[in-house]
Amino acid sequence: MSNYTQSTNFATKDALTSGDPLKIVKGTEINTEFVNISVAIATKADLASPTFTGTPTLPTGTIATTQTFGNSSTLLATTAFVQAALAALHPVGSIYINATVSTNPGTLLGFGTWTAFGAGRVMVGFNSANVLFDTAEETGGSADSTLPTHTHTITDPTHFHAQGGDALNIASGNSVATATAQISYAGTNTAAASTGITINNAGTSGTNANYQPYITVYMWKRTA
């Protein structure tokens, strides 16, 4: 774009005395001014529906018409349009998560009322078939469930212990060394016995043993 620059100073000509040849406006001077004006007009954008080329730069504070939300044309977007689009992506009830920045999203995004959400809890998907998960924002579970120390006792089934003696019979007239020995066993059973066997204590009375693998982030819920 170029601005119109005047080449002939007509006011100076008017100030000259009558009869001065320089006071006369020449055709070439008029032609030069016409060309200057034509070039300036041809390189300016129209007020209505202009088509820009190159890299146009809008001045700071430029005011434009905000397009209707959802407009996907190539029309210029205002800051109001962009802000409305961001707000639509984060409706009331939305959860905002940030792994490193703890700043309230109302400050970061510039809209909405946000409150810290889900402190010390993980999220689980809605499940209408499970009473534990069939209501939005329903809570449950425990981070401090413990397994108390306890014992296991096993009792043997009834069994018997046998006891008895051996009888040595030696034929008459024979020595012990040459006798035909007959050894008999006469056994008797004792009364039934029951033995208790106790296993050592099992389990640890400790807390924080119930956590799934986790990672800590900042979570916020939009409330308005």
More confident residue, 114 or 183: 114
Encoded tokens for 99: 């792994």
- pLDDT band of residue 181 (cuts 50, 70, 90) is very low
User: Is 192's pLDDT higher than 60?
Assistant: no
What is the structure's pLDDT at 130?
Answer: 94
Query: 127: Cβ–Cβ under 8 A, 6 or more apart, which residues?
Result: 133, 134
Reduce the DSSP state of residue 216 to 3 states and report it.
coil
CB of 208 closer than 8 Å to CB of 147 = no
CB of 149 closer than 8 Å to CB of 202 = yes
- Residues paired with residue 114 on neighbouring β-strands, in sequence order: 222
CB of 220 closer than 8 Å to CB of 104 = yes
State mean pLDDT over 77-93. 90
Query: What is the rounded distance in angstroms from the CA atom of residue 25 to the CA atom of residue 31?
Result: 11
With CA atoms as reference, report the closest residue to 108 among 87, 129, 91. 87
User: Is 155's pLDDT higher than 80?
Assistant: no
Query: What is the rounded distance in angstroms from the CA atom of residue 210 to the CA atom of residue 141?
Result: 10
More confident residue, 123 or 153: 123
Encoded tokens for 30: 């008029």
User: Is 177's pLDDT higher than 90?
Assistant: no
What is the structure's pLDDT at 143?
Answer: 74
What is the structure's pLDDT at 164?
Answer: 52
What is the structure's pLDDT at 185?
Answer: 43
User: Pairing relation of β-strands 182-189 and 114-116?
Assistant: unpaired
Encoded tokens for 97: 């998560």
More confident residue, 122 or 154: 122
- pLDDT band of residue 128 (cuts 50, 70, 90) is very high
User: Is 45's pLDDT higher than 90?
Assistant: no
Reduce the DSSP state of residue 69 to 3 states and report it.
coil
Q: Which of 29-33, 92-96, 144-148 has the lowest mean pLDDT?
A: 144-148
- Residues paired with residue 197 on neighbouring β-strands, in sequence order: 154
Reduce the DSSP state of residue 139 to 3 states and report it.
coil
